[in-house]
Structure 1
């Protein structure tokens, strides 16, 4: 069979009997759409959102530039223009989620105990944190269970944030113990670290099995911890 093409892409095919027939042009391959043009800050957020989806679905080890570009619905050059390398993309994602997560923690902590019960405030703050973990497991898995693929600089960032939270817990402990009447011989730094480690462990339980460990089911455990610091008579 002889084949020729017309100007519009249609094909002229000659059968064995010498009769020429016009065959329709083959469909054009669809071009990848990059979506509407976005300002740089919006494009960054779009790409980080896509990276977050990939990390949550496949894990940090599978956070490739190709997978992120596909998830975002853009060509790879668009991604490379904002984040030239995969480590830069990963670093930006981890730092964004860390910043938002730590802001949630600090927001949940009470400002003072001037007109409130310290034990009730502590319980409410922990439940607010556990609810945040349940509602956004991707973010909190990156914070509470950093994978081997996380860069060392990110682990340092987590350590610095943890120290900041411990310091805030110590301040609240001192104010809370004074308001509830003791005990007075408490190492607030030690107790602050124990409380933070306890809360982090509860958060990991919520991540590992949210059906078995929903935040409300952990309330009695949270309440029991405050009873380990009895008030003075």
Structure 2
């Protein structure tokens, strides 16, 4: 029989490490996802998580490593939500497009910290700025694939589909940025309406 993992307070070492990692992610989101979050330090994150630097380095190599992984986690959450909406069989292509756009907007506005971290604060400095640009292009490619899935032969051909998708994703990011900053008198639903009208009128011939 293989030895059972040792437990402390009912949890294994692996479980305790995972819990500390999640506490650091949550602390990073709380600090990085607020105005001025780009200046968040490793020390501040550790204090927020009530953990020592020893436990920080247990999971991350640096502050930028943690913040990059945090932004990637949020991007992965968005991608899963968008793909689930696109893959729903019911509804017209425009209905499915709206559902996918709503899924994108919902992740970034239902918890505004996620929107700020992913779109605003990540633009502040390297290497997060480069990672943000990479993610925008990945979502533009997802938009291209979605437009071809939704509209088939009616979808724009290359390179027009790629150019239009990049403008669409960039414009949607700017709308959400303005909403997060209180610069526009609009609701997330208004953003979804505007983005859906833009996408459905430009993503196909």
- Shared fold (TM-score, shorter chain, > 0.5): yes
Q: Which moved more, 1:220-229 or 1:165-174?
A: 220-229
For 2:26, the equivalent position in structure 1 comes to 49
| TM-score normalised by structure 1 residue count | 0.65
Q: Give ranges in structure 1 of 5+ residues lacking alignment.
A: 1-35
Contact map agreement 1:112 1:175 (CA 8 A) in 2: no
Contact map agreement 2:107 2:114 (CA 8 A) in 1: no
Q: Does 1:88 align with 2:88?
A: no
What SS does structure 2 have at the residue aligned with 1:213?
A: coil
Q: Does 1:144 align with 2:137?
A: no
User: For residues 198 and 88 of structure 2, what CA distance do their matches in structure 1 show?
Assistant: 19
For 2:181, the equivalent position in structure 1 comes to 208
What SS does structure 2 have at the residue aligned with 1:39?
A: helix
Query: What CA RMSD, in Å, does the superposition of the two structures yield over aligned residues?
Result: 3.5
What SS does structure 1 have at the residue aligned with 2:201?
A: coil
What SS does structure 1 have at the residue aligned with 2:33?
A: helix
Q: Does 1:64 align with 2:38?
A: no
Query: Residues 80, 193 of structure 1: CA spacing in aligned structure 2 closer, same or farther, 3 A cutoff?
Result: same
Which structure would you say has the larger RCO, counting Cα contacts within 8 Å and 6 or more residues apart? 2
Across the two proteins, how many residue pairs are aligned to each other? 190
Which has the higher Rg, Structure 1 or Structure 2?
A: 1
Q: Give ranges in structure 2 of 5+ residues lacking alignment.
A: 1-10
User: For residues 39 and 148 of structure 2, what CA distance do their matches in structure 1 show?
Assistant: 45
What SS does structure 2 have at the residue aligned with 1:212?
A: coil
| TM-score normalised by structure 2 residue count | 0.72
Query: Residues 65, 230 of structure 1: CA spacing in aligned structure 2 closer, same or farther, 3 A cutoff?
Result: closer
Higher helix share: 2
For 1:176, the equivalent position in structure 2 comes to 150
